[in-house]
Amino acid sequence: MANIRTKKTVYNIDEFDKVVDRSFTTFVDNTEEEDRDTVEELMRLYEKLYYELPIEGERDSHEYIITRSSKLVNIERDLTDIQPLLDEITQLREQLLLANQQLIEIQTGQ
């Protein structure tokens, strides 16, 4: 069997810290990463993924986007602006139906 000699050198920690800097450093300069989360990026992704989004769903869907955005945009106000126009359309359809019925009665002689 071979004889192996080992030698151990012990240093005083205070003396070691005076000679060796043990703080962590990096090899790359610290550069601040650019925030890429912009409205333009959101719209680009929305256009790209438009047909891939499910129509309905609690999250990650067109329905979710509409519901979430509706909290900022008052959709109810828009509906109250539209309702008088819908009522007028209904009234005009009823008048047109009545006029067509009268026209048919005149043509058939009843």
18 located within any domain: no
83 located within any domain: yes
Q: Are 82 and 94 part of one and the same domain?
A: yes
The owner of tokens 């309702």 is 83
Nearest to 37 by CA among 45, 28, 47, 29: 45
DSSP 74: -
24 located within any domain: no
Question: What's residue 82's pLDDT?
Answer: 84
Domain encompassing residue 89: 74-110
How confident is the prediction for the chain on average, in pLDDT?
A: 86
Q: How many domains is the chain built from? A: 2
Q: Are 84 and 106 part of one and the same domain?
A: yes
The tokens for 73 are 């945009």
pLDDT band at 45 (very low <50, low <70, confident <90, very high): very high
Q: Are 63 and 81 part of one and the same domain?
A: no
The tokens for 59 are 């999250």
Q: Measure the CA–CA gap between 87 and 101, rounded to whole angstroms.
A: 21
Q: Are 49 and 65 part of one and the same domain?
A: yes
Instruction: Judge whether 55 and 62 are in contact, CB under 8 Å.
Output: yes
